[in-house]
Amino acid sequence: MGANITELFNQMAGMTDEEIAEIHPEHNRNTIKSLLHQLHYYQDGKCIVHDMFGHEVVEKINELYSDAFLTAHLEVPGEMFSLAIEAKRRGMGVVGSTQNILDFITQRVQDACDSNRDNHLQFVLGTESGMVTAIVAAVRRLLNSGESSSKSTKTTVEIVFPVSSDSMIRTSSNDCHGLSSASSDDIAKLALIPGVATGEGCSIHGGCASCPYMKMNSLGALLQVCQQLSEKNNSPSVYRAKRFNSTTPLGRSIAEVGCEPILHMRHFQATGKLPEKLIRQILDQPIEEAVAS
């Protein structure tokens, strides 16, 4: 995310003042350039799932889906991020949070449903697979509501979820041999689809490009915690995660520093303005202390 924010600011520094004002009216090329030398980030970390959207995937998108809408979460690797940024400038993409991606897709589908012509929309998802269900459900609701109207036009939507070929199991034409008791027509319908391969960032339980750590937060896990609560102490507080006791060289709690960027992001998404606390930190701290997580 830190690398993507740096890339975002570098691209904004090459925009005109008018283009920057559309993103944030209180900034221009000079203010953006003044931020660049103050922006530092931790370069040794990565998300094991978002890292799958790399060079090979970007090449496939350019080859097969050059006319599709592109979406990218803030944490996808730089190549996918840059591709979506460029698409955004053409009005064909979005870069942001999962909610930003969902809003972008539903708005484009709604616009297509409201038009008086046939439409086929393609959306390439650059995010974790957990987003797919919410997006498909929202798109289905819009398409079903459109079918109930008297319009003769039709809108179809294709959701493309790209991943590296290394995460997929190969199949052969002989993979249907276990279905010999079925008719030939049934065999054609039941042909096996290449599935996910076990490996980092991918599992048979979560599906391709699914985060194994996010999948630990399940209803089954929650029920297990509730069942383990003792009768004498029926409060889940006993399972509360312990806070890090370590501190930064400046004496601040690591837990506090780690959560602070997320709180700043939530404030910006809710109000459209950077929080005063963040502004004061940037303006008051020496450059070497103004570290972006």
Q: Can you give the residue ranges of every domain in the chain?
A: 2-168, 218-289
Give the pLDDT band of residue 105 (cuts 50, 70, 90): very high
Residue 30's pLDDT band, with cuts at 50, 70 and 90, is very high
Of the listed ranges 19-28, 142-151, 275-284, the least confidently predicted one is: 142-151
- Averaged over 47-64, what is the pLDDT? 73
Region 204-219 average pLDDT: 62
Is residue 72 exposed (0-12), middle (13-18) or buried (19+ Cβ within 10 Å)?
buried
The larger pLDDT score, comparing residue 188 to residue 114, is at 114
Average pLDDT over residues 143-168: 70
Tell me what the mean pLDDT of segment 29-51 comes to.
80
CATH class for the domain made up of 2-168: alpha beta
Question: Quick one: pLDDT band at residue 147, thresholds 50, 70, 90?
Answer: low
- Answer with the residue of higher pLDDT: 191 or 144: 144
Q: What mean pLDDT is reported for the chain?
A: 75
196 φ/ψ angles, rounded to the nearest 5 degrees: -80, 150
Q: Quote the percentage of the chain above a pLDDT of 90.
A: 11
Asked whether the predicted pLDDT for residue 189 surpasses 50, the reply is no
Decide if pLDDT at 240 tops 50: yes
What local confidence, expressed as pLDDT, does residue 11 receive?
Answer: 83
Residue 104 banded pLDDT, cuts 50, 70, 90:
very high
Q: What is the pLDDT of residue 293?
A: 42
Label residue 206 exposed, middle or buried (CB < 10 Å: 0-12, 13-18, 19+).
buried
Angular region, 207: left φ>0, alpha ψ -120 to 50, beta rest: left
pLDDT of the residue at 111 = 92
Question: Is 288:38 a contact under the CB 8 Å cutoff?
Answer: no
